[in-house]
Amino acid sequence: MQRRRVKRILIGVFAASAVLVDAGAAAAQAAAANEQVAITTPPAGSAAWTADHSLGRSLPDPATADARTVAAFFASITPEQATRLIAEYPLVVGNLDGAPLALRYQANRVAIAAEIDRVRAQANDRTLDSTTRALAESRVNDSTALLAKGRQILAFDPRGRGLVSEVYGDLGTAQRVAVLVPGSDADLAHFDQSADPLRSPAGMARALVAEEHRQSPDGHTAVIAWTGYVTPSGLGPDAVTSRLADVAAPRLERLLGGLAVTSAPDSPPTLFCHSYGSVVCGVAAPKIHDGAGATDLVVFGSPGMGVQDASELGSGVRVWATRNPSDWIGNVPYLEVGGLGHGADPTGADFGAEEISSAGAAGHTGYLAANTASLHNFGAIALGLYQSVSHPSAG
């Protein structure tokens, strides 16, 4: 009983710190936010997929097969067989790391169309209450936007708040690949926001792609906006523990494993980890080194990475960190007590990361705004132009 009381007090301390430094809508949700249900199982259709022996062989188990096994399977079947599998199991194929990119894009369009049909029926069902119908209508709109011409949806899972990941650029031929790992409140409904795009994974990804093209007009690059895990909602209890990050990290590792066999960049993908996303990257870091060179891991607006020192993340990563002075996250306690909190400040002098400038950036979501030092630095790191990276001025 005493232990639970202490935990409640600590959660209150972390949440109250956030509320005191940010009086916006997200902070107002802090006390009321509920714990989220993490997605730990393969997508719908996986049981039928593994039971399917119509090709005279077992299909790769979505829960256990590694990316190379998946890639070898798809290389061994005919285009007609692949098309049939997409039609019957779009959610499985669309989320299967190691499957050919073009097949995943195609499968996810089928899956998204099916989700639109499902929720449109709910929106039009007068036997349902008005709140349920309104939520269904919102899901129709959010899903329909993903079917716009030219969009490359790498993963789509409609369970819960909805998971979605999108590719910008030609991932199959890209020489440099970047993966954006977002923080709290990233989901299908908030994946792409037109009113304030830099609050959304899609908006951040587009800004990074544009900056890469500005610095290297002839470069072959791709950026993935990866909302591949259930994120915390608001600034409630989930935001101050690693519970959701612990589940997310293996999913990020599988994404990178899939990229290793479906893309061929000159170096490992660069990870850009925002806010709670840096906790995910911290948990995943020791297992993502592929032996082909250091993985650049850029953390911004970070509450900590679950460690006290960058060396705890493993020798295969090179950590870059930044936080602008007006970002409220700097006022949240950088500590870890009883499983609450995320450890040391990555921008601290003793952490061991290379601190980069974010001059011109404002607030928690302004790091990829135009004409900021952070956007320039992110583009330079993504391109491997390390000599162009700027650092905070002394004093």
- Domain ranges within the chain, ordered by starting residue: 2-39+160-388, 50-54+63-134
| Strands 221-227 and 270-274, sheet pairing | unpaired
Whole-number pLDDT of residue 291: 63
DSSP, res 229: S
Say how many residues make up the chain. Answer: 395
- Single-letter residue type at 253: E
State the pLDDT confidence band at 146, using cuts at 50, 70 and 90. Answer: very high
Strand order in the sheet with 270-274: 152-157, 163-169, 221-227, 176-181, 270-274, 295-300, 317-322, 354-355
Task: Write out pLDDT tens, residues 202-225.
Answer: 999 999 999 999 999 999 999 999
Which tens digits make up the pLDDT trace of 72-115?
A: 999 999 999 999 999 999 999 999 999 999 999 999 999 999 99
Backbone angles phi, psi at 180, to 5 degrees: -95, 120
User: What 3-state DSSP class applies to 29?
Assistant: coil
CA gap 184, 193 in Å, rounded: 15
Sign of CA dihedral 24, 134, 150, 232: positive
**pLDDT value at residue 10:** 46
3-state secondary structure of 341: coil
pLDDT at residue 282, as a whole number: 97
Q: Is residue 24 pLDDT above 60, yes or no? A: no
Q: Which residues contact 153 (CB under 8 A, 6 or more apart)?
A: 94, 105, 108, 109, 112, 146, 164, 165, 166, 167
Placement of tokens 């050919």 in the chain: 100
User: Please, are residues 324 and 345 in contact by the beta-carbon 8 Å criterion?
Assistant: no
CATH architecture of 2-39+160-388: 3-Layer(aba) Sandwich (3.40)
R_g of the chain, CA atoms, integer Å: 21
Q: Which amino acid is at 108?
A: N
Q: Which residue carries 């916006």 as its tokens?
A: 24
- Per-residue confidence (pLDDT) for residue 292, from 0 to 100: 64
pTM recorded for the entire structure: 0.91
Strand (E) or helix (H) holding 296: strand 295-300
* CB of 216 closer than 8 Å to CB of 383: yes
Determine how many CB atoms are found less than 10 A away from the CB of residue 34. Answer: 11
pLDDT tops 50 at residue 13: no
Q: What is the percent of the chain where pLDDT is above 90?
A: 83
Backbone angles phi, psi at 274, to 5 degrees: -100, 135
| Cα 211 from Cα 276, distance rounded (Å) | 24
Cα of 40 vs its chain's centroid, Å: 15
231, 276 in Cβ contact below 8 A? yes
- Taking only the tens place, the pLDDT of each residue in 339-393 is 899 999 999 999 999 999 999 999 999 999 999 999 999 999 999 999 999 999 8
Question: In terms of pLDDT, which residue wins out, 7 or 382?
Answer: 382
Average pLDDT over all residues of the chain: 91
